[in-house]
Amino acid sequence: MTAPTGVPADPQSPDAGPRRRAGRPAAAVLGQDGITTAALQLIGRSGYDGFTMAALARTLNVAPSALYNHVSSKRDVLVLVQDHLTSFVDVAGFETGPWEQAVRDWAWSYRDVFSKHTPLIPVIAVLPVTDAPKTLAMYEAVSAGFGRAGFPQERIIPAIVALESFIFGSAYDVTAPADIFDSGSMAAATPHFTSAVRRLAENVDEKPADVAFSLGLEALLAGLGALRSA
Amino acid sequence: MTAPTGVPADPQSPDAGPRRRAGRPAAAVLGQDGITTAALQLIGRSGYDGFTMAALARTLNVAPSALYNHVSSKRDVLVLVQDHLTSFVDVAGFETGPWEQAVRDWAWSYRDVFSKHTPLIPVIAVLPVTDAPKTLAMYEAVSAGFGRAGFPQERIIPAIVALESFIFGSAYDVTAPADIFDSGSMAAATPHFTSAVRRLAENVDEKPADVAFSLGLEALLAGLGALRSA
DNA sequence: CCACTAAATGAATGACGTTCATTTAGAATG
DNA sequence: CATTCTAAATGAACGTCATTCATTTAGTGG
């Protein structure tokens, strides 16, 4: 219905760079790879609040609707980002070193990566591995390590899932405000809790989230390690 | 600007019940308690997708904007719901029974409650306890139990946080699709993982999420329990 | 009796994700 | 070289939400 103008006027504000005309450009918007890295940049710059399809399109000098030629939903973009981030998780230890240290390195790096991306956790946690090849590769490396370490086959997946659950929950913990346990005016009514919190606050050297993560991880390592036969 | 009619015509569709007139009714919209239980009902009926401020208002026979007299944001409602749900978590064991069984009961019930409310987890995980009195009460009961069981004061909060992290992550796991680990066409490229998954699938008696949760919880119980002095 | 105030209204706003008809211009085909 | 095919981009709608605001209403307390 709208009168086509052949060369549409650029409606962008003057600060925006020159916008590509319609038609097939040199290499599209760079496809899913380009979208993924652009999304990662945008998230790094503006956080997940500023991460909007419109903002992502602006980053790529493209109209928002153009994104839907390469991706079928915003959730799709999040999945791409998630899978990309997984390649930063350290699984090297599983090929060489002892099981315990391998799990330690893996778990810490896994937590660190996603503590900066907690909005992805609800997505990852229920995502079929088919939709995330790099994540699948990570599972393969970890599974192989568990097998080599002498885990019975039927315990490998449950053990990994248990560790992952702990990791995801702990990633949230990293982002919690420092005063999350400050009971404020209710302190008198909660003596045991309040005194325990005070003791925790006395330790100024280590971050509370790291203390809790270390404690839980070492407990899991000891408990799960006992399942090995070798 | 709009001409006031004194008695405004009810613009609702015929299926809606009689709408209250403006002004101060008998007991408001029931205040925060009423909103909380209405929200819980609505979520139970329509899930978190259907849980919208408009839908919540309709449940209460009220205009959406009226909710903002009692609550300052949708997130506020979620916090109210979260705190209410916490009262369903079982902490009875901490007052009577042995520590291990108390933690078991607590952890399982905690996971079960929030596995049906995973959209609340990002909210809970970073929520200051001041904003959630019932949650604070739960922490008090748990802290007291840990103290009685002989935990050193400075380890109580980290231990609870570690357990909670594991619980939150595991709550997501409960909602994961059954085929989440089906590697599909990539099966050949991931032999270790694929064979481990196959072994898991052979167990038809127990749900995978329960196996993983039990495994991780028992490991944590053993590992953390060793911290007790008594 | 009157001023005060809690509470409800409904219209308006501003994001945001997503859809769709249409256009464009390389690539492929003959 | 002409024609057809098609991936990719456009911009104008939508529809859905949360949230705000000026205004009205009706108990309550002085």
In which element (H, E) is residue A188 found?
Answer: none
**Are A192 and A130 within one domain?**
yes
Chain B, residues 183-222, CB within 8 A of chain A, namely: 183-186, 189-193, 195-197, 199-200, 202-203, 208-209, 211-213, 215-216, 218-222
* Cβ–Cβ contact B170 with A under 8 A: yes
Cβ distance A186 to B128 less than 8 Å, yes or no, reads no
Percent of chain A with pLDDT over 70: 87
Cβ distance B172 to A168 less than 8 Å, yes or no, reads yes
CA atoms within 13 A on the CB side of B59: 22
Residue A127 domain-assigned (yes or no): yes
Task: State mean pLDDT over B14-26.
Answer: 46
**Are A42 and A123 within one domain?**
no
Task: Render pLDDT for B191-215 as a digit per residue (tens, 0 to 9).
Answer: 999 999 999 999 999 999 999 999 9
Total domains in chain B come to: 2
- Quick one: pLDDT at residue B30? 76
Residue A78 domain-assigned (yes or no): no
Q: Is the pLDDT of residue A24 over 80?
A: no
**Are A61 and A173 within one domain?**
no
**Are A129 and A199 within one domain?**
yes
- Quick one: pLDDT at residue B28? 60
Tell me, rounded to whole angstroms, the distance of Cα B214 from its chain centroid. 19
**Are A100 and A189 within one domain?**
yes
Closest by Cα among A164, A138, A137 to A224: A164
Task: Render pLDDT for B145-186 as a digit per residue (tens, 0 to 9).
Answer: 999 999 999 999 999 999 999 999 999 999 999 999 999 999
Mark which of A71, A104, A125 sits at the end of a domain. A71
Number of Cβ pairs < 8 A linking chain A and chain B:
249
**Are B112 and B161 within one domain?**
yes
Helix axes B153-174, A153-174, angle to 10 degrees: 120
- Quick one: pLDDT at residue A31? 85
Instruction: Report the nucleotide nearest the CA of residue B68, measured to C1'.
Output: D19
CB-neighbour burial class of residue A222 (10 A; exposed 0-12, middle 13-18, buried 19+): middle
Closest by Cα among A167, A69, A175, A68 to A124: A167
Distance CA A13, CA B51 (A): 37
Cβ distance B180 to A128 less than 8 Å, yes or no, reads yes
Closest by Cα among B224, B186, B217 to A139: B186
**Are B39 and B152 within one domain?**
no
Q: Is the pLDDT of residue A140 over 70?
A: yes
Q: Which of A144, A177, A215 sits opposite B192 (nearest CB)?
A: A144
CA atoms within 13 A on the CB side of B74: 11
- Quick one: pLDDT at residue B26? 43
Say how far B63 CA is from D12 C1', in Å: 32
Backbone angles phi, psi at A28, to 5 degrees: 60, -160
Residue B10 domain-assigned (yes or no): no
Q: Is the pLDDT of residue A11 over 80?
A: no
In which element (H, E) is residue B45 found?
Answer: helix B31-46
- A62: which 2 tokens? 């493209």
Tell me, rounded to whole angstroms, the distance of Cα A215 from its chain centroid. 22
* Cβ–Cβ contact B159 with A under 8 A: yes
Residue B63 domain-assigned (yes or no): yes
Distance CA B77, CA B148 (A): 35
Q: Which residues pair with B147 in a beta bridge?
A: none
* Cβ–Cβ contact B16 with A under 8 A: no
- A213: which 2 tokens? 């993560």
Say how far A135 CA is from D16 C1', in Å: 33
Residue B18 domain-assigned (yes or no): no
Closest by Cα among B175, B4, B141, B15 to A127: B175
**Are B51 and B145 within one domain?**
no
Mark which of B71, B104, B130 sits at the end of a domain. B71
Other Cβ atoms closer than 10 A to A195: 15
Residue B220 domain-assigned (yes or no): yes
Task: State mean pLDDT over B6-17.
Answer: 34
Tell me, rounded to whole angstroms, the distance of Cα B155 from its chain centroid. 25
Task: Render pLDDT for A156-195 as a digit per residue (tens, 0 to 9).
Answer: 999 999 999 999 999 999 999 999 999 999 999 999 999 9
The answer to whether B84 CB sits below 7 Å from nucleic acid chain D is no
Q: Is the pLDDT of residue B10 over 50?
A: no
Residues of A in contact with B196 (CB under 8 A): 143, 146-147, 153-154, 156-157
Q: Which of residues 79-98 of A touch strand C (CB under 7 A)?
A: none
Residue B53 domain-assigned (yes or no): yes
- Structure confidence at residue A206 as a pLDDT band (50, 70, 90): very high
CATH number at residue A58: 1.10.10
Task: State mean pLDDT over A141-155.
Answer: 97
Task: Render pLDDT for B71-115 as a digit per residue (tens, 0 to 9).
Answer: 999 999 999 999 999 999 999 999 999 999 999 999 999 999 999
Cβ distance B165 to A166 less than 8 Å, yes or no, reads yes
**Are B51 and B112 within one domain?**
no
Nearest residue in chain A measured CA to CA from B222: A223
Distance CA A160, CA A169 (A): 14
Distance CA B217, CA A48 (A): 32
Q: Please, what is the end-to-end C-alpha distance for chain A in angstroms?
A: 73
- Quick one: pLDDT at residue A230? 67
**Are A171 and A140 within one domain?**
yes
CATH number at residue B158: 1.10.357.10
**Are A199 and A129 within one domain?**
yes
What is the three-class DSSP state of A83?
A: helix
**Domain range spanning residue A47?**
26-71
Q: Side chain identity at A196, as an amino acid letter?
A: A
- Quick one: pLDDT at residue A30? 76
CB of B221 closer than 8 Å to CB of B103: yes
**Are B135 and B47 within one domain?**
no
Residue B109 domain-assigned (yes or no): yes
Distance CA B142, CA B88 (A): 14
Q: Which of B95, B110, B190, B206 to mutate to test the interface with A (most CBs of A within 10 A)?
A: B190
Other Cβ atoms closer than 10 A to A205: 6
Distance CA B219, CA B40 (A): 34
Mark which of A37, A71, A105 sits at the end of a domain. A71
- Quick one: pLDDT at residue B52? 97
Q: Which of A83, A95, A140, A210 to mutate to test the interface with B (most CBs of B within 10 A)?
A: A140
What is the three-class DSSP state of A196?
A: helix
Q: Which of B142, B162, B215 sits opposite A215 (nearest CB)?
A: B162
**Higher pLDDT among residues B6 and B223, named by residue:** B223
- Quick one: pLDDT at residue B18? 45
Q: Could you tell me which residues come within 8 angstroms of residue A27 by beta carbon, excluding any fewer than 6 positions away? A: none
Cβ distance B222 to A219 less than 8 Å, yes or no, reads yes
Q: Could you tell me which residues come within 8 angstroms of residue A93 by beta carbon, excluding any fewer than 6 positions away? A: A101, A102, A103, A104, A105, A106, A145
The answer to whether A66 CB sits below 7 Å from nucleic acid chain D is yes
Q: Which bases of strand D sit closer than 7 A to a protein CB? A: 6-12, 16-27
